Amino acid sequence: MRPVIPYVTAALLFGLGVYGVLRRRNAVLVLMSVELMLNAVNLILVTADTTARAVLPHSGQVFALFVIVLAAAEIGVGLAIVLQLYRLRATVAVDDVPLTESPDPVGGREPAVLDSEAGR
Amino acid sequence: MTGADVLLLALGAVAVGAGVLVVTTKHLVRAGLYLVVCLGALAGDFLVLSAELVAWVQVLIYVGAVVVLLLFAVMLTRAPIGASDDLDRPGWPAALIGGGAGLGLTALLVDAYRWSTVTLPDAGTAERLGEQIFQSWVLPFEVLSVLLLSALVGAIVLSRPDIGRAGPHGDGRAADLVDSEPGGRR
C-alpha cells in the first residue's frame, strides 16, 4: 500500500473545504465544506495509523472516531444556530450577518420574523 | 501498484471529484447528495486502509445522520428548488487560500512519503479498537460524552426561543420558565 495516495486525497479535500468555506454564502453550504475538512483530517489520521507504528496500536483510528463524534456535536449546534439565524432574519447568507449589532434596530436590518416572546 | 493502490486511487478520485462538485454546484440539495458520494468514497478508503470500525461509523454517523441533518436544514431554510445564482461570493481570495492550502499540503506530503510502500497493520476491528478506547483512551472518551451532552443541551437552548431570550423586558411567563428550568440556566 502506498500511503501517498490517501495523503494526497486528504490534502486536496482539505483545500476544497477551505475554498468552500471562504467561497460560499449560504451557511448550510459552509457547514458542508467544514464537513469536508473534518473528513480530510480523518483520512490523514487513519492513514497515519498505517504508516506510523505508535506505542499504542490503532491510536489514529481511535482519534478518527473522536473526530467523528466532535463533528456530530458541531453539526448539531451549527444547524441550531443556522435555523435561529433564519428565524430572525429570514436569510442564511453569512455575509448579511452584522458582526456588531447596532443598539437600535433602525440603523440595522429589521428582523424579518418577529417572535412573540422577544417583546419588541 | 497493487490492488489496494488501485482501489485507493479510484476511491480518492471519486471523493475529490464529488468534493469539487460540493463546493461548486449551484443546487443546494445536490450539494448535499454529492457530499454523500464523497463521504461514502471516504468510507471505502477507510475499509481499504483496514479501519473497519471507522468505516462503518462513518457510514452510520456521517452518511446516515449528518447528511440527513444538513438536508433537513436545507429544507427548513426554504432553499429554492433548482439552481440559485446567489450562493457564491466573488472568490479570488478563496481560490488562492484554498488552492494554496491544498497544493501546499500535497507538496509537503508527497515530499515526505514519495512512492514508498508500507504493509497494512492488522485490521482495526471493533474488538481491538474497543480495547484501546476503554483502556488507554477512557478519559478522553468520557470527556467526549460530556461534550456531546453539552452540545445537545446547547442546541435545545438555542432553538427554543422561550429560554435564553427572556431579559428584564420579557413577560413574566417566560422569566418564570427560565427560573424554574435548570436547562435554561447557563
pTM for the full predicted model? 0.83
Of the CATH numbers 2.60.40.290, 1.20.120.1200, 2.60.40.1120, 3.30.450.20, which one belongs to the domain with range B1-82+91-123? Answer: 1.20.120.1200
Reply yes or no on whether the pLDDT at B153 is more than 90: yes
Reply yes or no on whether the pLDDT at A118 is more than 60: no
Residue B166: CB atoms within 10 Å: 22
Give A7's contacts (C-beta < 8 A, 6+ positions apart). A44, A47, B109, B110, B113
AA identity, residue B14: V
> Structural domain boundaries of chain A?
4-99+106-118
Longest CA pairwise span in chain B (Å): 71
ipTM of the complex: 0.83
Of the CATH numbers 1.10.260.40, 1.10.287.3510, 2.60.40.10, 3.40.50.261, which one belongs to the domain with range A4-99+106-118? Answer: 1.10.287.3510
Contacts of A32 in chain B (CB under 8 A): 22, 31-32, 35, 70
Q: What string of DSSP letters covers B103-150?
A: HHHHHHHHHHHTT------S---HHHHHHHHHHTSHHHHHHHHHHHHH
* Helices vs. strands in chain B: H and E counts, helices first: 8, 0
End-to-end CA distance of chain A: 63
B126 CA to chain A: closest CA distance, Å?
11
Contacts of B39 in chain A (CB under 8 A): 35, 39
Domain with CATH 1.20.120.1200 in chain B: 1-82+91-123
Cβ–Cβ of A19/B93 closer than 8 Å? no
* Greater model confidence, B104 or B168: B104
Picking from A100, A19, A28, the residue whose alpha carbon sits closest to that of residue B30 is: A28
How confident is the model over B29-57, as pLDDT tens digits?
Answer: 999 999 999 999 999 999 999 999 999 99
- In degrees, to the nearest 5, what angle opens at C-alpha A81 toward C-alphas A79 and A84? 110
Nearest chain B alpha carbon to A52: B118
